Amino acid sequence: MIGTWFRTDYDGPAPVLDLPAEVSSGRAPGLCIVDQVVRGTGIVGRVTGDFGAVALKIHGPAGSVRVTVELHLDELGTRWWSDRVRPPRTDAERPRLVLVRAQGRLRAATLLARRQGWRAAAGAVAQVSFDLAADELDADGLLVVELADPPRPSWAGDRFCARSAVGLRIDRITVRPAPAPTAGATAPATGQASGCDLALLPPGASGVFRLDVAPVPPAPPVPRSPSNRWTRRKPARAAFKGLRLARRVALRARARVLPARAPGRPDVYATDLGTGAVVEVEVVARHPGGLDLRLTTPVASPVLLGLADPAPALSLRLRPASDTEPGPPAPAGVQPDAGAQPDAGALSR
């Protein structure tokens, strides 16, 4: 790590941020290092490689701090990824799964999945928060946040993008004093649907949680930039744009007329994203449109959950089993149970 001893006589002192600190521009004075990230003006920057890292210089806090990173997947980011990976033109977009590291350690993971509207696909935004102890920031006060690719479980196949970090926007990084920890089981908080047939459990999650399954609009087709002098001409570009728009409308209309159906008795796979090892999940109870799950052993890293049968037109959402918020309606063809029938001893891998 570069410290103050590496500075030359021509370098001025690096600005240091005070807490609470918020960085939302690549020109912010506290943003001192970027690696495979293009700085922005209204955003921190955009990742250009298989991983990207930014470093902030902050005053060493007296206690632990909470770091929040806001990520955004937009049309331009998808085009950057497509121009580098060159997927088949007939493929639909796949979700992005990225690991968030800080100070060289895995802290969290996030999923971003865009879905098709009638004309264009909406962007996907995710906020990732994690805590750092006071002794994890050295005397230089350098906070390093990195986005990286996860291990790919054998059951996941091509259900999420390769090189998922390419093109992602880092919109904002916030550092604040961490709130006091709470005792008890750490079940996942109720959040938005993932937009795909994958979901993430936070590190150290324990207790019983509910997995809701619901239909979702289809993923948009992957945009491609012109690759030769003929396709770069305006008539060809206009024709490709019209075909892409027609395909998007057709996909959206088909999903409206023939919505996907959730499986009657879904099974779930789970993988530790820190080690790539299989995690055992116990199915506690099954409900119309979802099921209650519990990890047999708490895992210190984020856990990737996925339906056993790939279903790109379905979306998962995690929430505490004690949450009284109603889940999605029961899928067609599935009769509601008389209460949740326990599925004792069932294990999914």
**Fold exhibited by the domain 11-181:** Jelly Rolls (2.60.120)
Contact present, 123 and 72 (Cβ < 8 Å) = yes
What is the phi/psi pair of residue 133, to 5°? -70, 160
Which of 284, 108, 264 minimizes the C-alpha distance to 209? 284
Token digits of residue 296: 């047999």
Q: What is the pTM of this model?
A: 0.79
Burial of 42 (0-12, 13-18, 19+ CB in 10 A): exposed
Give me the residue spans of the domains in the chain. Answer: 11-181, 184-216+261-330+342-349
pLDDT tens figures, 48-90: 999 999 999 888 666 788 999 999 999 888 888 888 888 877 7
C-alpha–C-alpha distance, residues 264 and 284, integer Å: 16
C-alpha–C-alpha distance, residues 349 and 347, integer Å: 7
Contact present, 95 and 111 (Cβ < 8 Å) = yes
pLDDT tens figures, 129-142: 999 988 887 666 78
* DSSP per position, 215-227: E-PPPPBPP----
C-alpha–C-alpha distance, residues 305 and 96, integer Å: 14
pLDDT tens figures, 250-279: 666 665 666 666 666 678 899 999 999 999
